[in-house]
Amino acid sequence: MMATSKKILEQEPSEIEMLLPWHAAGTLNTRDARRVEEALARDPELAKQYAVIREEYAETIDLNESLGAPSARAMQKLFAAIDGEPARKPSASFNISAGISGFFARLSPRTLAWSASLGALALLLQAGVIGAVLMKNQNAAFQTASLSTNEPLTRDLSVGAPPPRALVRFAPDARIADITALLDTYQASIIDGAKGGMFRLQFNNRALSKDEFAGLLRKLQGEKIVSLAVAAQ
Amino acid sequence: MQVLYGRHHVRVFRFGLRLVRDEQVAEDLISEVFLDVWRQAGKFEGRSAVSTWLLAITRFKALSALRRRKDVELDDEAANAIEDTSDDPEVTAQKKDTGVALRKCLTALSQDHREIVDLVYYHEKSVEEVAEIVGIPENTVKTRLFYARKKLAELLKAAGVERGWP
């Protein structure tokens, strides 16, 4: 059987050989990753080349990390330029927030895979909680949706503004136990997810000012298991 | 915008810096990239990851900056530097460290090769995403990275480092 790798580079590289760098970076889909794994297992030359690629991969990361970060000047320049931009119409603002929310809702394949499983679990937990609450509150007596004469014809104005919500992306290595503990700490619950790996959290029983909510988001963003936290509707 | 900037500006800066090789220019690039995002966010359709979109804008602006500077010959100078320093005792000692030599040779790659290596290894972009950022077919992405790696091996060999491939 002909080896998968091409020992003589005058020949065109094989498809598998060309996929090796993406395999090292973990960005292949499941099917291609499996094909590469199988080829690596049966072809020592290919495995040798893969070892070289892993070295390149590590050094490329080292090189880029050594480049440091930009100075505060860049940020100051940006926000000064934004301040100088003409005022936007409401519809434009909406588009911006919708656009930014939209592109936050995209993830790398690895994170997507993780989020999908966590999302399914979170939805099951939510379903369980909702079911338990419904069972607990269910009244044995028959009720219609029509007006009850025992209740006042006024709305409860104390309800006020809806509780604050945020879109949160958890770190790929976050465990369920960590997430549960975080939800407890912030008195938050997952009300939607995981669309593109983002979970919609609602902070229960808390009426927060704009500044308080911004502070809460900053605190949340600082959590080890949170990779992103932004305000949501 | 602050959240978006906070999350992506370092990677945008590093990608831009690897392309333009000038910190001041790379910092200017960041402002331009995020200002464009601010202006055009409504046009973003969410078909790709935000980082892919940002890197595509960064690449476009970096290439425009390079064209303005007419600085393309830097690539050849950097490549020559690898071979010219072979008699330097300090460099000779560094050759023993494959990692150091590799990083030096990664810097010496052409702009086309540098960007594809960085996008795949550092920015962890898939074949499809690299194709979108660079604006080339997916098969070209694969072959370009293969030949970038081959060029890297040649530079390493010229610097006295043999790795057993190719």
Residue A156 DSSP code:
-
Digit-coded pLDDT (tens) for A16-36: 999 999 999 999 999 999 999
Which helix (H) or strand (E) segment holds residue A221: the answer is helix A210-221
Helix/strand/coil for A230: strand
Locate B25 and state its tokens: 């220019």
Distances, alpha carbon A36 to alpha carbons A16, A32, A47, in Å: 6, 6, 10
Output the DSSP codes for A9-68. TTSPPPHHHHHHHHHHHT-S-HHHHHHHHHHHHH-HHHHHHHHHHHHHHHHHHHHHHTT-
- Measured between beta carbons, the chain A residues lying within 8 angstroms of B31 are 74, 77-78, 81
Judge: B125–A27 Cβ closer than 8 Å, yes or no: yes
Judge: A81–B35 Cβ closer than 8 Å, yes or no: yes
CATH 1.10.1740.10 intervals, chain B: 2-69
**Of the candidates B27, B48, B120, which has its C-beta nearest A70's C-beta?**
B27
Is residue B20 within 8 Å of B132, Cβ to Cβ?
A: no
Judge: B127–A22 Cβ closer than 8 Å, yes or no: yes
- Measured between beta carbons, the chain A residues lying within 8 angstroms of B102 are 55-56, 59
Is residue A52 within 8 Å of A26, Cβ to Cβ?
A: no
Locate A91 and state its tokens: 């519809």
Residue of B122, B128, B132, B151 best to disrupt the A interface, most CBs of A under 10 A: B122
Judge: B124–A27 Cβ closer than 8 Å, yes or no: yes
Is domain B74-158 in CATH 1.10.10.10, yes or no? Answer: yes
- Measured between beta carbons, the chain B residues lying within 8 angstroms of A197 are none
Which helix (H) or strand (E) segment holds residue B149: the answer is helix B138-158
- Measured between beta carbons, the chain A residues lying within 8 angstroms of B43 are 99
Is residue B59 within 8 Å of B134, Cβ to Cβ?
A: yes
Cβ neighbors of A8 (< 8 A, separation 6 or more) are none
Q: What is the pLDDT of residue A62?
A: 92
Residue of A17, A52, A110 best to disrupt the B interface, most CBs of B under 10 A: A52
Domain coordinates in residue numbering, chain A? 15-64, 104-135+162-233
Q: Which residues pair with A168 in a beta bridge?
A: A199, A229
Q: What is the pLDDT of residue A106?
A: 52
Q: What is the pLDDT of residue B164?
A: 77
Contacts of residues B138-146 at CB distance under 8 Å and 24 or more positions apart, as own/partner, are B141/B116, B142/A15, B142/A18, B142/A19, B143/A13, B143/A18, B144/B112, B144/B113, B144/B116, B145/A18, B145/A21, B145/B116, B145/B117, B145/B120, B146/A13, B146/A17, B146/A18
Residue of B nearest to A231 (CA): B3
Q: What is the pLDDT of residue A114?
A: 56
- Measured between beta carbons, the chain A residues lying within 8 angstroms of B149 are 21, 53, 56
Digit-coded pLDDT (tens) for B67-104: 887 655 555 555 554 554 454 555 555 545 788 899 99
Q: Which residues pair with A166 in a beta bridge?
A: A201, A231
Digit-coded pLDDT (tens) for B24-63: 999 999 999 999 998 887 777 677 788 999 999 999 999 9
pTM: 0.58
Judge: B102–A56 Cβ closer than 8 Å, yes or no: yes
CA distance linking residue B90 with residue B100, whole number of Å: 12
**Of the candidates B14, B35, B49, which has its C-beta nearest A64's C-beta?**
B14
Judge: A98–B42 Cβ closer than 8 Å, yes or no: yes
- Measured between beta carbons, the chain B residues lying within 8 angstroms of A221 are 3
Judge: B9–A70 Cβ closer than 8 Å, yes or no: yes
Q: SS3 sequence, A119-143?
A: HHHHHHHHHHHHHHHHHHHCCCCCC
**Of the candidates B18, B102, B150, which has its C-beta nearest A55's C-beta?**
B102
Low-confidence ranges of chain A (pLDDT < 50): 1-2, 6-9, 90-94, 103-105, 107, 109-110, 112, 139-159
Judge: A70–B26 Cβ closer than 8 Å, yes or no: yes
Digit-coded pLDDT (tens) for B122-133: 999 999 999 999
The CATH code for residues B2-69 is: 1.10.1740.10
Whether A49 has its CB under 8 Å from any CB of chain B: the answer is yes
Multiple choice CATH, A104-135+162-233, 3.30.420, 3.30.70, 3.40.50, 3.30.2450: 3.30.70
Cβ neighbors of B28 (< 8 A, separation 6 or more) are A74, A77, B65
